[in-house]
Amino acid sequence: MGQPEQQQAVPGIQSEMTPMPDCGEESYVGTGQLTGKIAVITGADSGIGRAVAIAYAREGADVVISYLSEDSDAAEVERYVVDAGRRAVLIKGDIADAQHCRDVIATAVDQLGGIDILVSNAAYQMTRTSLADIPDDEWDRTFDTNVRAMFHLCKAAVPHMKSGSSIIGSSSVNSDMPSPTLAPYAATKAAIANFCASLAQLLGEQGIRVNSVAPGPIWTPLIPSTMPPEKVANFGSDTPLGRAGQPAELAPVYVLLASDAGSYISGARVAVTGGRPIL
């Protein structure tokens, strides 16, 4: 058993999880791979987004921390970014709203001077055991948060990006190994992977690279806030590595895809799944 049974209300608070996810707070050491770049990261208060924000700051990037409502978690990430000697901008609000997406990008441009990296990471899911149990508004919320937001973020960001910029979408192993109890979420993750592949071809002439990362089961606040306690306790145990991954184990991939070291990587979907294959 990887973690004790536990439950939280959506969207979940990282500081209330047992054990706390490892987002690289004590372990990630930067080497200057993103020096001088400006990054926008959605869902940056916790989980994968938090790990990416910490890593990016320690690699030399200024960071826009976009989050829904988790003020205490977001403030901790802001402190880590500032402690790394970089500028941090907190933006609270719901990316399911198209205007808020545009405002996030406008804030990055106005307060930090531009945007070089967009990480569309924030997501919503909920466990349902039958199609009849999925409320219509929950289906819409899942797509609005996971897919529609990425469209509006990218549309607003691209005019401010230059050659060498990078867009990264957080897909999932569910994109082609869909969990039956996460049907709306799995469908959005397939859409993200597909959208990134299209954008990579559409934006290649501008020198803008687009990729997606496909995590497997990762220990984040999304898990205790959207799954029943018994599933939380066994989360990740069915992977070949026998455990859930930690957000810190995703950060190096997001760094590579944003850095000049990944200058010829575009249109890729990188699996970080603990051994589960993706097609």
Whether pLDDT at 89 is above 90: yes
Token reading at 214:
């496909």
Closest CA to 56 of 42, 71, 41, 74: 41
In tens, the pLDDT along 148-202 reads 999 999 999 999 999 999 999 999 999 999 999 999 999 999 999 999 999 999 9
pLDDT digits (tens, 9 = 90+) for 105-143: 999 999 999 999 999 999 999 999 999 999 999 999 999
User: Is 89 within 8 Å of 63 (Cβ atoms)?
Assistant: yes
pLDDT of the residue at 279: 79
Question: What is the pTM for the complete model shown?
Answer: 0.96
Residue owning tokens 């999932």: 172
Whether the predicted pLDDT of 53 surpasses 90: yes
- pLDDT per residue as tens digits for the range 192-242: 999 999 999 999 999 999 999 999 999 998 899 989 999 999 999 999 999
Phi, psi of 87, deg, nearest 5: -80, 140
Q: Please state the rounded mean pLDDT for residues 53-82.
A: 97
Beta bridge pairs of residue 245: 218
What whole-number percentage of the chain has pLDDT above 70? 100
- Lateral strand order in the sheet of 88-92: 88-92, 62-67, 38-42, 117-120, 166-170, 209-215, 269-272
Catalytic residue ranges: 185
The pLDDT, as a whole number, for residue 185 is 96
Predicted local distance difference test score (pLDDT) of residue 131: 96
CATH number, span 31-272? 3.40.50.720
Q: Is the confidence at residue 144, as pLDDT, over 70?
A: yes
- The residues, ordered by sequence, that sit 6+ positions from 120 with a Cβ below 8 Å of its Cβ are 42, 149, 150, 153, 154, 167, 168, 169, 170, 192
Quote the pLDDT of residue 3: 87
261: pLDDT strictly greater than 90: yes
Q: What is the mean pLDDT of the chain?
A: 96
Encode 167-179: b = buried (16+ Cβ within 10 Å), e = exposed. bbbbbbbbbbebe
